């Protein structure tokens, strides 16, 4: 247990768990949104923090850090992104990830029988500790526009924002810049980041949060182990499939080299035969 506690003490705002808990402080979260969007927000409501959207049983679920709606029914999804994720094919995942997030949010939002115009305006906001687009912009905001005439905007009221904490171009408010500095270096340079730092200290001293973090760590460990096991299983199948396709290996050799059982190999052989017939 002591190790779990010391792990929590070491967390910074760039950690998903701590980021979520800080964003659950309404005053801080509302101020960030107001400063980013240059607007006043009367109030915000937390729809659900770290929510998992799984619209269809066989669809790819997504775990949202923080999901919010304001008093005008504009919806916000705030995410912390420390690393630039790469897929198994070597492609960067963020662009299509945001596309999928938007689709899942819209599908979850629009109930059966509702009209499309009942979809709420949305902002998907990623705090990135790297410059994905390598143009040094502090903020990259994306909305759909006509390629033939960039003055024409598709008014679907959906926006995606990548906040580059390392950026040097573009105007942002002093409080947002101080927040970026705090995320990057854990340095307090404004009254706002002093409030954030004090909030983090308060959160880390909260017994309920400590207990919650222990549960979170155990769940993350289980997920990592499940992912590793799934990867190993796929690798075994891949090896066996290649060996079967070559047709020059004995059953015993396939068992030894792939680590699969006789039943698994026979099933794979049948599946490959069905695929070939199709």
| pLDDT score of 274 more than 50 | yes
> What pLDDT sits at residue 114?
86
Banded pLDDT at 186 (limits 50, 70, 90): very high
Evaluate the CA torsion angle 83, 84, 90, 93 in order and state its sign: positive
Q: Mean pLDDT across the stretch 20-39?
A: 96
Q: What percent of the chain shows pLDDT beyond 70?
A: 89
pTM equals 0.75
* The most confident of 146-150, 205-209, 273-277, by mean pLDDT: 146-150
Of the listed ranges 52-61, 196-205, 241-250, the one predicted with least confidence: 52-61
> What pLDDT sits at residue 278?
63
Of the listed ranges 19-33, 63-77, 128-142, 186-200, the one predicted with least confidence: 63-77
> What pLDDT sits at residue 6?
61
By CB neighbour count within 10 A (0-12 exposed, 13-18 middle, 19+ buried), where does 50 fall? middle
Q: Mean pLDDT across the stretch 34-45?
A: 96
Distance CA 263, CA 278 (A): 23
Evaluate the CA torsion angle 202, 208, 212, 214 in order and state its sign: positive
| pLDDT score of 212 more than 80 | yes
Distance CA 216, CA 164 (A): 27
Distance CA 144, CA 142 (A): 7
Residue 218 pairs with which residues in a beta bridge? none
pLDDT by residue (tens digit) across 158-178?
999 999 999 999 999 999 999
pLDDT by residue (tens digit) across 94-133?
999 999 999 988 988 887 678 999 999 999 999 999 999 9
> What pLDDT sits at residue 112?
64
CA 239 distance to own-chain centroid: 32
| pLDDT score of 195 more than 70 | yes
| pLDDT score of 64 more than 80 | no
Q: What is the 3-state secondary structure (H, E, C) of the chain?
A: CHHHHHHHHHCCCCCHHHHHHHHCCHHHHHHHHHHHHCCCCCCEEEEEECCEECCCCCCCCEECCEEEEECCCCEEEEEEECCCCECCCCCECHHHHHHHHHHHHHHHHCCCCCCHHHCCCEEEEEEECCCCCCCCECEEEECCECCCCCCCECCCCEEEEEEECCCCECCCCHHHHHHHHHHHHCCCCCHHHHHHHHHHHHHHCCHHHHHHHHHHHHHHHHHHHHHHHHHHHHHHHHHHHHHHHHCCCCHHHHHHHHCCCHHHHHHHHHHHHHHHHC
């Amino acid at each position: 247990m002591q190790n779990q506690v010391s792990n929590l003490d070491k967390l910074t705002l760039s950690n998903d768990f701590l980021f979520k808990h800080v964003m659950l402080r309404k005053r801080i979260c509302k101020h960030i949104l107001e400063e980013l969007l240059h607007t006043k927000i009367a109030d915000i409501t937390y729809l659900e923090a770290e929510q998992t959207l799984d619209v269809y049983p066989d669809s790819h679920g997504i775990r949202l850090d923080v999901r919010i709606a304001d008093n005008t029914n504009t919806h916000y999804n705030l995410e912390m992104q420390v690393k630039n994720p790469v897929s198994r094919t070597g492609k960067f995942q963020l662009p299509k990830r945001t596309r999928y997030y938007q689709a899942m949010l819209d599908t979850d939002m629009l109930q059966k029988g509702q009209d499309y115009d009942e979809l709420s305006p949305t902002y998907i906001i990623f705090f990135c500790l790297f410059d994905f687009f390598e143009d040094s912009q502090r903020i990259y905001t994306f909305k759909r526009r006509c390629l033939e005439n960039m003055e024409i905007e598709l008014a679907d009221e959906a926006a995606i924002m990548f906040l580059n904490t390392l950026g040097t171009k573009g105007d942002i408010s002093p409080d947002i810049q101080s927040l970026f500095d705090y995320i990057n270096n854990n340095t307090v340079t404004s009254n706002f980041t002093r409030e954030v730092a004090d909030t983090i200290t308060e959160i880390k001293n909260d017994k309920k949060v400590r207990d919650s973090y222990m549960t979170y760590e155990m769940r993350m460990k289980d997920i990592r182990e499940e992912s590793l096991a799934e990867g190993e299983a796929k690798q075994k199948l891949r090896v066996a499939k290649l060996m079967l396709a070559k047709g020059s290996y004995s059953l015993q050799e396939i068992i030894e080299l792939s680590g699969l059982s006789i039943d698994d190999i026979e099933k794979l052989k049948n599946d490959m035969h069905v695929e070939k017939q199709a």
